Amino acid sequence: MAAPRALRPFAHREYRVLITALAISIFGSGMWAVAMVYQVIQLGGGPVELSLVATAAAVGLVAFVLAGGIAADRVPQRLLIIAVEGANLAVIGTVSVLSMTGLLQLWHLAAGSFVLGMGAAFFFPAYSAILPRILPAEDLLAANGMEGTMRPILQQAAGPAVAGVVVASLSPPWAVTGVSLCHLTAFIVLNFLGRHALDAPANGAADGSLPAPQRGRGGAVRSFLRDLREGVSYTLRTPWLLWTLIWACLSVLFIIGPIEVLIPFVVRDQLHGDSRMFGFLLAVMGVGGAIASLATASFRLPRRYLTIMISSWGLGSLPLAAVGIMDNFWVLAAALFIFGATGSVGMVIWGTLLQRRVPPHLLGRISSLDFFVSLALMPVSMALSGPAAQVMPIWLIFLAAGVVCPLMSVVALFAARMLTDEIEHPLDAEPAEKDSLDAVDG
């Protein structure tokens, strides 16, 4: 009997090792999301200080993500992923020691967050680029769906819920220590990834040399700027890619800051809750994302994949418009559940779309451009959310987020001619049936 479509990637050893380490690491990241908030509060911080720490992580991510994409196309992705996890372990371990000894200061958290963001800038392009190397194309949707299932469960649900209980029962430093143990375990597991095929550069030979087309005059390897220009050029001439990134950039500006910075204070001031309520609200959002991701992974890519992707993101943002006036836990939980579910449907399709339609030698760079353009305004959103809440009501901030994003999704759908593009470039067939289309895609 054939395995369910969503479980097919587990037939491959390298995937099993990678996804196990990823699961442990993102569980730790979920704990960090809550532990960091209450570590800032324990140090006497409020919305402005929390904005500072959150902005540091965003700056680290945005500042290095383009370099991370080029590295993913040039350096063995296995080594990049292991190095990032080692850096995460060093940062969280240091914060844990400082917090346990009472020496932790706000600037330590900001500096650590910056390094964590920088690590993410190298991790995500490498992870996206390594999947097509360890899995057949027909299993990529399932793999992205499995990540989309585990990430909400572990990073948005289990991790925050556990951290909320630890913070309430013990203290924020103990929660940070738990995060460091997660990264230690993930680092150990990643070292079991195969050293041979995966240590060759993605577009190079086993000895690390680049193929002839990748060399410039005189045999010199193309410069950083030329590599970057190639990725940007592909993005600009590919409407579905360009307009999705434009939508993502604006949605990050209006959504990320309010969710990351202001919801803890919505919980405190409107619901009169504590860290446990905040953690379980994130858990509800994660459960919604997990259910939607697993459902998406269990079927073939839909024929109208672009329409479903952009519509899910746009319509799923609507409930955020009322977050600022909600004073009932279950109503707020329902809004976050919908937001998490619709967001995950779009992300599973998006990740698969990049891996199926972007040329393999550009995948690392396009993935990094995806993160860079999508998150370019994340530091601005983080930095503005706290001060904005000092001069305007929170309900108005969330209203703007819930209205602007759906309107922009409609603009992107028609500006990029997505309704036509997805019919002209079908991806619902198995790869063997559409090799000729892939050769001219884009």
Which pLDDT band, with edges at 50, 70 and 90, does 187 fall under? Answer: very high
Q: For residue range 360-384, list pLDDT tens digits in order.
A: 777 777 877 777 776 677 777 877 8
Q: Which residue type occupies 299?
A: F
Sign of CA dihedral 119, 254, 341, 395: positive
SS (HEC) of 305-325: HHHHHHHHHHHHCHHHHHHHH
pLDDT for 213: 39
Distance CA 85, CA 185 (A): 10
Is the pTM higher than 0.75? The answer reads no
DSSP letter, residue 139: G
pLDDT for 186: 92
pLDDT for 436: 37
Q: Which residue type occupies 145?
A: G
pLDDT higher at 432 or 417: 417
- For residues 340 and 156, the answer to whether their CB atoms sit within 8 Å is yes
- 19-376-288-135 Cα dihedral, nearest 10 degrees: -30
Distance CA 31, CA 167 (A): 10
Distance CA 100, CA 266 (A): 29
Q: For residue range 85-118, list pLDDT tens digits in order.
A: 999 999 999 988 998 888 888 888 889 889 998 8
Determine the average pLDDT of the residues in 263-272: 82
pLDDT for 223: 67
What Å distances lie between residue 299 and 74, 181, 287, 345, CA to CA?
33, 36, 19, 12
Q: For residue range 225-247, list pLDDT tens digits in order.
A: 777 788 788 888 889 989 998 88
Which pLDDT band, with edges at 50, 70 and 90, does 82 fall under? Answer: very high
210 SS3 class: coil
* Fold of the domain built from segment(s) 9-202+225-439: Growth Hormone; Chain: A; (1.20.1250)
Class of residue 102 by CB neighbours under 10 A (exposed 0-12, middle 13-18, buried 19+): exposed
Least Cα distance to 336 among 375, 291, 287, 404 occurs for 287
Which pLDDT band, with edges at 50, 70 and 90, does 208 fall under? Answer: very low
Q: Which residue type occupies 68?
A: G
Distance CA 315, CA 312 (A): 6
Q: For residue range 124-149, list pLDDT tens digits in order.
A: 888 888 888 888 877 888 888 888 77
Q: Which of 1-15, 29-43, 46-60, 103-117 has the lowest mean pLDDT?
A: 1-15
Which pLDDT band, with edges at 50, 70 and 90, does 206 fall under? Answer: very low
* Helix locations, 135-223, DSSP H: 140-150, 159-169, 172-190
